[in-house]
């Protein structure tokens, strides 16, 4: 499983995350920062227990509530996304502005790519509003085959 969400420089993501938290009066504690760093360097979506195992290498006393609290904070501040269909998390590459989540998930290799299509966001927003529905979150997950896997299948 490859996650395109952190193909951007992890150091840059961590710096932006720290600035955002500071600007919001929120604390990016060392453990929250470590969880974000784990997601940025993993190269794949990770479940909470996968994160816990990686966190334990630096914090041997870490327990599941530590990870879940960190993930809750990171989700609340838009620093990570939850991939519902995989029950896993990825770091966000668009930290500098709020957006709805759009993901392409390859069923063959597991790559997850985060998109940002303003037209999809507008269309979904209009449809939701038309129905009189009040959305708590707007996440779109599209499952299929990435370009690389599609090309391999044709060869």
CATH number at 4-91: 1.10.10.10
Nearest to 91 by CA among 153, 42, 130: 42
Q: 111 a known binding residue?
A: no
Q: 131 a known binding residue?
A: no
Rounded Cα–Cα distance for residues 23 and 71 (Å): 19
Third-level CATH fold of 101-154: Dna Ligase; domain 1 (3.30.1490)
Q: 146 a known binding residue?
A: yes
Nearest to 91 by CA among 17, 23, 26: 17
Global confidence as pTM? 0.82
Q: 121 a known binding residue?
A: yes
Domain boundaries, the chain: 4-91, 101-154
Q: 40 a known binding residue?
A: no
Q: pLDDT by residue for the chain (155 residues), tens digit each? A: 444 444 458 888 899 999 999 999 999 999 999 999 999 998 789 999 999 999 999 889 999 999 999 999 999 998 999 999 999 999 887 777 767 788 999 999 988 988 888 899 899 989 999 999 998 878 899 999 999 999 987 65
Rounded Cα–Cα distance for residues 80 and 89 (Å): 7
């Amino acid at each position: 499983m490859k996650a395109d969400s952190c193909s951007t420089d992890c150091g840059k993501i961590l710096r932006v995350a720290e600035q955002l938290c500071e600007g919001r009066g929120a604390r990016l504690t060392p453990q929250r920062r470590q969880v974000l760093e784990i997601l940025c360097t993993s190269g794949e979506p990770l479940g909470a227990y996968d994160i816990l195992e990686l966190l334990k290498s630096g914090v041997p006393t870490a327990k599941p509530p530590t990870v879940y609290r960190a993930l809750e904070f990171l989700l609340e501040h838009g620093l990570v996304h939850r991939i519902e269909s995989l029950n896993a998390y990825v770091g966000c590459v668009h930290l500098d502005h709020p957006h709805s989540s759009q993901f392409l998930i390859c069923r063959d290799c597991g790559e997850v790519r985060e998109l940002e299509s303003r037209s999809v966001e507008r269309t979904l927003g209009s449809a939701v509003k038309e129905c009189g529905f009040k959305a708590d979150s707007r996440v779109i997950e599209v499952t299929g085959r990435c370009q690389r896997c599609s090309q391999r299948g044709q060869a």
